[in-house]
């Protein structure tokens, strides 16, 4: 049994560093293409399929089975592609304030207008680069100064094309149990949009009183949820 952790936009696998020590089983945090261990991949070439393939490659390399697959934020549109690639290895899916827009739509069209404006302003030459000030407002509202600095130091550039690629949610039709972790103080993926995702997924819902980066601001609380799902 194991956890596989998929980060959201603008971060890499190291956003899970605080959570991993609290987890009750082996944990694999995946770097999606263009950052961390896959920094050699040009961001302008990255697709959602590439992201799912990266997860599959890492899972198969360790031959992980009976996996609790955890997706944060933007990973909500990578997870269903992973489910279609390695369904036999996945035991449960946990989505942490995950972006799950209607099938065939674009992520960019399904986020709060104020957040979308900040995102669009952060795109240059096909690269999504978050400025620290804007990221602090969206991501760090429940953090003290030192924790916020630690989170912001982990910001990574991302592929802007992923935000406008039509999503394929077919994998969510599979009969694999799923839980949605609803973050009640989230100022990035705000309440209205989390509720839309929850309605689309028809998942069990667990509330956490945190902002968007719960794995950094409240790692023990998030790990307790994941451990309970793992059993």
The pLDDT assigned to 125 comes to 66
The pLDDT assigned to 162 comes to 81
Backbone angles phi, psi at 156, to 5 degrees: -135, 145
Element holding 123 (H helix, E strand): strand 123-124
2-230: which CATH architecture?
3-Layer(aba) Sandwich (3.40)
The pLDDT assigned to 225 comes to 97
The pLDDT assigned to 43 comes to 87
User: Residue 158 in 3-state DSSP?
Assistant: strand
The pLDDT assigned to 7 comes to 98
One digit per residue, the tens of pLDDT, for the chain of length 231 reads 899 999 999 999 999 999 999 999 999 999 999 999 999 998 888 999 999 999 999 999 999 999 999 999 999 999 999 999 999 999 999 999 999 999 988 877 766 677 677 767 667 667 777 788 889 999 999 999 999 999 999 999 888 878 778 999 999 999 999 999 999 999 989 999 999 999 999 899 999 999 999 999 999 999 999 999 877
The pLDDT assigned to 215 comes to 98
Q: What is the dihedral of CA 5, 62, 175, 6, to 10 degrees?
A: 20
Spans of all domains in the chain: 2-230
């Amino acid at each position: 049994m194991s956890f596989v952790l998929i980060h959201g936009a603008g971060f890499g696998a190291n956003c899970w560093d605080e959570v991993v020590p609290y987890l009750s089983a082996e944990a694999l945090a995946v770097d999606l293409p263009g950052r961390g261990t896959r920094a050699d991949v040009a961001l302008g070439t990255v697709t959602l399929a590439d992201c799912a393939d990266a997860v599959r490659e890492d899972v198969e390399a360790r031959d992980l089975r009976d996996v609790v697959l955890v997706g944060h934020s933007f990973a909500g549109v990578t997870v269903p592609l992973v489910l279609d690639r390695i369904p036999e290895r996945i035991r449960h899916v946990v989505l942490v304030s995950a972006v799950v827009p209607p099938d065939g739509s674009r992520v960019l069209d399904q986020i709060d207008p104020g957040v979308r404006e900040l995102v669009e302003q952060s795109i240059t030459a096909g690269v999504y680069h978050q400025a620290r000030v804007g990221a602090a407002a969206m991501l760090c509202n429940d953090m003290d100064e030192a924790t916020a600095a630690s989170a912001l130091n982990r910001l990574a550039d991302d592929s802007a094309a992923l935000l406008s690629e039509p999503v394929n949610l077919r994998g969510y039709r599979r009969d694999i149990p799923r839980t949605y972790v609803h973050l009640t103080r989230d100022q990035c993926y705000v309440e209205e949009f989390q509720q839309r995702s929850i309605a689309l997924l028809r998942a069990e819902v667990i509330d956490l009183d945190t902002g968007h980066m719960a794995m950094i601001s409240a790692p023990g609380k998030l790990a307790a949820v994941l451990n309970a799902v793992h059993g």
